[in-house]
């Protein structure tokens, strides 16, 4: 987990999936230069901060378990993502049950499991009842629901036409910008 080092308190958070939410969905990427961050992402995160929310990325990175990406490279990518977007932290799951070496684990952090959100809630003393999980896939919505936060499905990545399983998010928006500018966000 990489943190930006900002002071924290008892605040709500917007948990954000990475690909399809903060940057374009491109399949596995292995270099920070390949992170195609949406032009609006930085402003969206600034607006979330102004509204009193932490902005925390929650991302499955099984490319590590598959041997495509080293954990060190992933951490560099996360630090770059924090610098470019103003995120408060990035939590990642490098595991996969069919992965290699120490990453071959049936863990409790890979979405739709809730390990990453629970860990962030503890680290940042997050106010769960006003927090949201935002993603473009069924696993994001299921993860948010299991963790007890509100859920938002975005159409900017896989979206509702490509759901792996039927889910009922609390909100559906075209992209992160329309969500953060909407009236849905209240503390």
By CB under 5 A, name the binding residues for Zn ion: 93, 95, 107, 109-110
What is the smallest separation between the CB atom of 104 and Zn ion, expressed in angstroms? Answer: 11
Task: Give all strands (DSSP E) within the chain, no chain letters.
Answer: 2-3, 13-16, 54-60, 89-93, 132-135, 150-154, 171-173
What is the set of active-site residues? 17, 19
Tokens of 112: 């739709």
171, 179 contact by CB (below 8 A): yes
Q: Which residue's CB is nearer to Zn ion, number 114 or number 175?
A: 114
Q: Which residue's CB is nearer to Zn ion, number 106 or number 182?
A: 106
What is the smallest separation between the CB atom of 117 and Zn ion, expressed in angstroms? Answer: 12
Q: Which residue's CB is nearer to Zn ion, number 107 or number 172?
A: 107
Nearest to 24 by CA among 34, 10, 38: 38
Q: Which residue's CB is nearer to Zn ion, number 105 or number 163?
A: 105
What is the smallest separation between the CB atom of 79 and Zn ion, expressed in angstroms? Answer: 20
Determine how β-strand 89-93 pairs with β-strand 54-60: parallel
Nearest to 21 by CA among 164, 134, 139: 134
Cα(187)–Cα(60) distance, rounded to whole angstroms? 27
What is the smallest separation between the CB atom of 141 and Zn ion, expressed in angstroms? Answer: 18
């Amino acid at each position: 987990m990489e943190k930006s080092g900002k002071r924290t308190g008892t605040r709500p958070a917007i948990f954000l999936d990475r690909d399809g939410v903060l940057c374009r969905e491109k399949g596995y990427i292995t270099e920070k230069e390949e992170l195609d961050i949406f032009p609006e992402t930085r402003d969206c995160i600034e607006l979330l901060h102004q509204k009193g929310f932490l902005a925390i990325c929650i991302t499955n990175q099984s490319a590590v378990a598959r041997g495509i990406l080293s954990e060190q490279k992933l951490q560099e990518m996360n630090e770059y993502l924090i610098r470019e977007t103003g995120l408060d932290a990035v939590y990642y799951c490098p595991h996969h049950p069919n992965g290699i070496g120490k990453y071959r684990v049936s863990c409790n952090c890979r979405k739709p499991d809730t390990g990453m959100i629970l860990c962030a809630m503890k680290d940042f003393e997050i106010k769960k009842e006003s927090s949201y999980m935002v993603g473009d896939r069924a696993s994001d919505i299921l993860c948010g629901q299991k963790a007890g936060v509100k859920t938002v499905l975005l159409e900017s990545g896989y979206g509702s036409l490509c759901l792996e399983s039927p889910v009922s998010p609390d909100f559906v928006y075209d992209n992160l910008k329309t969500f953060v500018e909407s009236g849905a966000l209240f503390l």
